[in-house]
Amino acid sequence: MKESSSIALVTGVSRDKGIGAAICRILARDGMDIFFTHWGAYDEEDGCGKEEDFPSAFARELEALGVRAAHMEADLSKQDAPAFILGAATQSLGFPKVLINNATYESPTDFRTMTMETLEMHFQVNNRGTIMLSVEFARRFEEVYEEAEDGRIVFMVSKGPDPHNLAYTATKGMLAAITEPLATALAPVGITVNSVDPGPTDSGWITDEIREKLLPLFPSGRIGTPEDAASLIRFLASEDSRWVTGQVLRSEGGFLGK
C-alpha cells in the first residue's frame, strides 16, 4: 500500500450511490487516504435507507485502490462531534488536509408543517455541526502546519424555490453565506474554502415521477450523477485549485429549475 501525500476527511458517507461515496472514490484514485463518517440512524429513519455493513465494505473497496481508509459513526447534531471526529481521524490516519462537508440533514418542511424542532434539527447538523467541524479543523490545521499549506474546506450547498424544503434550503443557504468570509479568514492559514451546489443529483432518492419532472429542466437531457459533483470536488481538493477560494460553484449541468 503506497504512502499518501494527503488525507481527506469526508462526512456523510453512508450509501454506495451517494455523493459522499463518489467523492471518496475519486479522491482515493488520486492517492488520498480517506477517513469518512456515517450515521446509519438517520439513513434508516429519514434518509434513503440504511445499507447494512456498507462502511466496512466500502473501506475495503477504497483500500483496494492502494490507499488507507478508516471510518466512524458520527452524529453531527452532538456538540462534541467535531472534536470527536477530528480526534478519531488523526489517530487512525493522521491529521487531514482536506475536509469535505457532505453530511446533511433533510426532512421535507413547508410553511404548514415547519416546527421549531424540525428547524432546530436541520440547524444542528447542517450549520452548527458542519461549521464547528470546519473551524475546529482550521484551528488544528494551524497548529499542525505552522507555515501555510494546501488545506481545503468544501461545503455542499443548495438553493431554489422548492416550497416543501424550507428548513433544508434555509440552512444550506447559511453555508453559502459563510463561505466567503471564512475563506478570507483562513487564507493566511493556507486553507481555501469553497461551496459546491450540485443541483438535483440522482443519488438514490429520485423516483420515476420526480425524474419525469426534472428531465426537461436539464438541457443536456440527463440528471446529474454523484460523479458529476465529485469531479468538481476533486479539483477543489487538489493543488491546482489553490487560487480558487470563497466561491459558491454550481455543478448542475445548466439546470433550468432555478
Positions marked active-site: 168
The string of DSSP codes covering 188-206 is GGTEEEEEEE--SB-SS--
Contacts 24+ apart (CB under 8 A), 83-90: 83/136, 85/9, 85/11, 85/37, 85/133, 86/9, 86/133, 86/136, 86/137, 86/140, 88/35, 89/7, 89/9, 89/35, 90/140
Residues with Cβ within 8 Å of residue 90, at least 6 apart in sequence: 96, 140
Helix axes 81-92, 130-144, angle to 10 degrees: 40
Helix axes 166-186, 130-144, angle to 10 degrees: 20
- The H helix count followed by the E strand count for the chain is 9, 7
Q: Do β-strands 191-197 and 151-156 pair in parallel, antiparallel, or remain unpaired?
A: parallel
Q: What number of other Cβ atoms are within 10 A of residue 250's Cβ?
A: 17
Residues with Cβ within 8 Å of residue 182, at least 6 apart in sequence: 134, 135, 153, 193
